[in-house]
Amino acid sequence: MLNREDNELLTRVGPGTPMGECFRRFWLPALLSTELPRPDGPPMRLRLLGEDLVAFRDSKGRAAIVEAYCPHRGTFLFWGRNEDCGLRCTYHGWKFDADGNCVDMPNEPAESNFKDKVKLRSYPIREWAGLVWIYLGPNEKSPELPQFEWARLPAGHCHLSTWLQETNWLQGLEGEIDTSHASLLHRWLDPAAVPAYQNVAVRPDLVVQGASPRLTVNETDYGFFYGGRRPAGTDNAGQYYWRVIQWLLPTYSLIPSPQLRKAAGRCWIPIDDEHTMVFSYTYSADQPLTAEELEILDAGVRFPPQLERCVFRLKNGYLIDTWRPRRNRDNDYLIDREVQRSQNYTGILGINDQDRSVQETLRSAGDTWGANADRTNEKLGSSDIAIIAARNRLLKLVREFQAGTDPYPAYHGDLYDIRPLDVVSSESELLQLAARYETHMRVRL
């Protein structure tokens, strides 16, 4: 468990907070490129790390993210006119380009140079790998983009999605690196009834057998990887089912597939202390994703869940444009008690919906139910060693940052070029397999 002070240290991410400032040293996904589909299209409302922002694509196709309020009178720039390479405030017509420069002030005399003295806060943007990335830290500390394998693949090899999670960022991350829950939360009561979409992600028969996997965590310069070792069945003497998951600072995962050249993962980008944007990537290194694989992804039964575009009201009333899962805590995740009794463990359809049903309703440490878990009263066991390791690693990161040390991975993007692993093998065979894929996996067990 964490004491209250450490819990606050890790989960508070607004401007000036230690964890928030540490996040600001990394390039972070802000939105999908497709969420700004055309030049001079409608602006988009968003919030990142507690900052109210507006995104737009200018007349030349350049994506921009700026503060949400005009410096003149504080007018909400979401109402602005996106035209002629700038966003124009509708109150008095002040216009700002993608770099935040004021390029027109129609309510000031023509001879005035006042516009040259006014600047809208804007942030460095990189549009890469289907995402709009943002850097919110000091200009002199600019980091490197993380060189994930999925981000460098040709078109068609990677499927991207994003959605709102109604929790603090750490709750989603901790769920991702908790391998033992897959044996229970995602269990089907009749193995013969397991849907095809679940077989793509795990080997369900072996996961069910190994509800208590033996875990090993190895810390790395980018975070850590951890292996879950399960029995491989009575007919496989000396064989084990290994799932090796990569966790990369500050908030990325790489999750294995039974097919070695395919993988997936998520990252949790804080909107504020109680809401998170999840970005999901599913990819195939050798060939484009097949029509069947894309059909499963688009069905919303794994990652992503079934989604609906909406305007969502945050706790303080600020609105964001986002994708909200169709199954959410307002409708009890559409739980079906008969399905729970006879078919699957939860009575909830999708894998991510099952995850969020528990993550978004944990006992809360604050005044927003479920949004920020109370970690001071947990009873952690041997199945939680990866969660414990992540908390310790994050505490080390943020404390070193407070002492003046910048986060090492942020400035070494090549560290992110790694893979996870899912394999049935003996321990000696696993070592040989890891050596064969060492260029991309760096797995040492």
pLDDT, one tens digit per residue, over 210-227 is 556 778 898 999 999 888
Q: Cis omega (within 30 of 0) on the bond before 154?
A: no
pLDDT, one tens digit per residue, over 145-197 is 999 999 999 999 999 999 999 999 999 999 999 878 877 898 888 766 677 66
Backbone angles phi, psi at 252, to 5 degrees: -110, 150
CB 187 within 8 A of CB 392: no
Burial class (CB in 10 A: 0-12, 13-18, 19+), 99: middle
Mean pLDDT of 417-445: 65
Indicate the pTM of the whole model.
0.93
- Tell me the pLDDT band of 13, cut-offs 50, 70 and 90: very high
pLDDT, one tens digit per residue, over 341-400 is 998 999 998 999 999 999 999 999 877 888 999 999 999 998 899 999 999 999 999 999
Residue 401's pLDDT is 98
Residue 123's pLDDT is 98
- How many whole angstroms separate alpha carbon 372 and alpha carbon 368? 7
- Tell me the pLDDT band of 445, cut-offs 50, 70 and 90: very low
Q: Which domains does the chain have, with CATH numbers?
A: 27-141 (2.102.10.10), 150-441 (3.90.380.10)
CB 363 within 8 A of CB 372: no
pLDDT, one tens digit per residue, over 248-276 is 999 999 998 887 789 999 999 999 999 99
